[in-house]
A and B are shown apart, each in its own frame.
Chain A
Amino acid sequence: MIEIRDLTKRYGSFTALDQLNLSLEEGVVFGFVGANGAGKSTTFSILATLLSPTSGDALINGKSVIKEPKEVRKQIGYMPDFFGVYDQLKVDEYLDFYGASYGIGAADRKVLIPQLLELVNLTHKRYDYVDLLSRGMKQRLCLARALIHDPKVLILDEPASGLDPRARVEMRDILRNLKSMGKTILISSHILPELAEMCDEIGVIDNGKLIAHGNVASIQAQLQGEKRIVIKVTDQLNEVRAFLEEDPLISSIDLMDNRLEIAFNYRGTNADQVALLKKAILANLPIYALSEEEKDLEDVFMAITKGADNQ
């Protein structure tokens, strides 16, 4: 559905995007993660036909953003990170204007607008002026606007930024709904846990380069050379520690006396881990639980971007 090839954007000597390559299937929800200024918005602006790349190309449903921008615009619904609304325009007139801008006939618009307002929970605000809506409502209205021509692809630049927790949950529910409708969705965010929940794939961008791409689990696995394991014991904390210190695959052992827990980094494979557990039980150590500490996406992101900086 989306094919980005060697996409590069330079502003003078500054490279905002450096030969970005990315391919996404239809119906995928793709989370674009990166620090501010990493190149997320530049990529989205190019996909939204607002910006020409210096070199490379991007195809949306087979249409090139450079050669057929008008065709691309029919395929995409774009929501920028910062946007304004017109004063003195009511919610239904706002949607009517954009509907007409996409060449949708007056009769069709009349049918569409209530449906879209329902989808984004704004039916009760239909006759209110748009500039009087709250930030979260404006955000949802903008999403409804992006959907008015029934695009296959949605490009949402920071859709949750500046929203309070309730508005964020509402936005997430709407996006889930859109996902179930089969839309291909690209979302950028610097708030990672939100994305992890709903994205099929994640791309991490840093300094204009895509440094990781895959599903959430595979990215985590790819980045976690070591796992962090926690063992819980009933007593004999020091004996367990001495036992662990003998294993060459183990490092960074931390004792948590007050909780009778030991955490350590483990470099071995799953099979190695089975052997270790067996050995521990045979040694009569009072272990009653062993678990892998989940790294959240935030840690992963920090690890990746730090790695990229060091290169």
Chain B
Amino acid sequence: MAYLSESILTYILLAPLVGAILIALLPDRGKLPAWIGLLTTLVTFLLTLHLPAHFMVGQHGFQFEINRTWIENPAISYHVGIDGLSVWFVALVGLLAPIGILVSWNVIQKRRKVFYALFLVQQTAMFGVFLSLDLILFYGFWELSLVPMAILIAVYGRKDGPRAALKFFLFTFIPSAPFLVAILWLYAHTGSFNFSDLQMLIASGSLPAGALFWVALAFLFAFTVKVPVFPLHGWLADTFSEAPVALAMVVAGKLGLYSMLRFHIGLFPVQARAIAPLLVALAVIGLLYGACLALVQRDFWRLLAFAAFSHLSLITLGIYGLTFTGWDGAIYQVLNHGVVDAALFLLLAILEMRFGTSQIAAYGGLARKVPQTATFFVIASLAMIGLPMLNGFVGEFLILSSTFIGVSHSWAIAATVGVILGAAYMLWLVQRIFYGPEEALALSADGKDLRPVEQLALWPLAALMLVMGLAPSLWLPTIESRTGPPTFRSASALSRFNSSPVVQVGGQQ
């Protein structure tokens, strides 16, 4: 077991890659690629579960750390490690992967080899982003994550795949130009790409403050586009409505939010504090704007895209409120969002496959025809809305209460309005699809209810929604033992359940 712990992170990174190579080498016959994919992702998921199981709660610094020189000059190292921030992100990606494969089981009919191989490469890239503690390594995985996504959108897009893929790629690739220059500038002035070293050096104040402002901004710009934060969300709706369901649910939001916490606030606490008011405002605007857009969509993929945009904005609000409670809530909410969104994506994909359309108006009164689908959909919607006892509630409550106490009353009230709008569009969607008069579609098409494979994917998600809602204490202690920015570190132990703004705590030191 000790041996496993030593290089577990390498195994997690390599496992999907091995699966991808295996799929690429073996013939594209029947469901063989899908089976290999499922097996690989299950093994990877078990590997990721090793991390929370052996995670030392309360220990500061990174765990399961591996630090080896990769290239001597410039000094790039293979440096990976996890802390309370990343451990559950990794497990979440691990969990979503087999579900993503199950989602694609019947949907992907042609060129399975391409799909499953690239899907697994995407897994490696995402794990890499969450594990890397070397900026170039991080940048590498960050960029790598674009490629499988873009190709798969282009190949399996619903209507105009290549256009959506190009939009997605350019939107996220171009901001990484200033991002890379910023990394290179840091290296030119510090001689290090190492996260912990850079954290110390930047905190020591030896770097010119004026330039650091731009460097921090370049980092932030790349991350906000990826989340996305208002007004940089242009790519999201097209990507969600074109991307294969499995990828959309695996990718959505997590990378950007994690990077904000780790590499923007983590590296540049001073600059983050300076720019936080702007981001709080943008987040609230995005929250309201996304909710309003979701209300008027006719296509349920686009509705889900704007709903996700709205929820991701709420998480951004939690992050840039710069309170410990807000951060706990934000991280927890990312996990919730991953689980709930996966369920919703899966259910909508099932509907689209059975009834052949994503136009909401075509549906109506389906509850009688597909009762199990309807039940799962209602549970997931309620979790998304934030009904107490389900997981969405915990995260939203932490974020909103920390904003109310720690940031400003008015922003918190505005955000709450957005959450209420969220309830409106979700419930209205449920009503339009499953209840009301039965439309011709529901009567004519011989849509079947859930298949065993689909049940297999949905039950764990529904169970998680409930457990995460009832017992957040299973998760929160781990989340709280993360490595904060250096100035905040000593405070973090004190103010576990204290919503006092970090800005003041940090300022007093």
A and B together in one complex: no
Q: Which residues of B does A touch, CB under 8 Å?
A: none
